[in-house]
Amino acid sequence: MTDLILSPPHSVEAEQGVLGGLMLDNEAWDLVGDLLQADDFFLSQHRLIFTAIQELSEKNSPFDIVTIFEAMAIPEEVGGLSYLAEPGQEHSVCSEYPVVC
C-alpha cells in the first residue's frame, strides 16, 4: 500500500484575499490582527508576507506592496515584487474577514 501524503484543508485564494485586502486597507488589520497568526497560512510565502505585515503594523507603519517588499530580508523567498502584487488582485471585501478567518 502506498503512503498518502495528506495536506490540511486550505485555500490559496482565501489566503491571497486576506493578504491582498490588508494591503489595500490597512485598517482591516484591526479586524484580523488578533484572529490570525503566520502559522495559520498554508503557503510559506503567505506566512512570510503576513509576518512582514504584522511587523509593519507593530511599528505603526503602512503596509503595501512596496513597504512589505522593503521590509522583507529576502523578498525573493516569496517570488519577489510580482508575487506580492498577486494578492492585491484577489483581495476580499473587508467585511468578509471574520468569515474567512
Instruction: Give the pLDDT score at 52.
Output: 94
Domain count, the chain: 1
| Cell, residue 85 | 502584487
Please report whether residue 84 resides in a domain: yes
Q: What is the pLDDT of residue 87?
A: 62
Residue 2 lies in a domain: no
Range of the domain at 46: 12-100
Residues 6+ apart with CB under 8 A from 30: none
How far apart are alpha carbons 35 and 88 in whole angstroms?
21
In 3D, which of 39, 17, 40 has the Cα closest to residue 97? 17
* Domain assignment present for 89: yes
What are the grid coordinates assigned to 91, written together? 483581495
24 burial class (0-12, 13-18, 19+ CB within 10 angstroms)? middle
- CATH number of residue 64's parent domain: 1.10.860.10
In a structure prediction context, what are the per-residue pLDDT tens digits for the chain, which is 101 residues long?
556 666 777 788 889 889 998 999 999 999 899 999 999 999 999 999 999 999 999 999 999 988 998 888 777 777 877 788 776 555 545 545 555 55
Buried-state track 31-58, b at ≥16 Cβ within 10 A, e below 16: bbeeebeeeebeeebbbbbbbbbbebbe
Q: Tell me, what's the pLDDT at 94?
A: 52
Give residue 79's pLDDT: 81
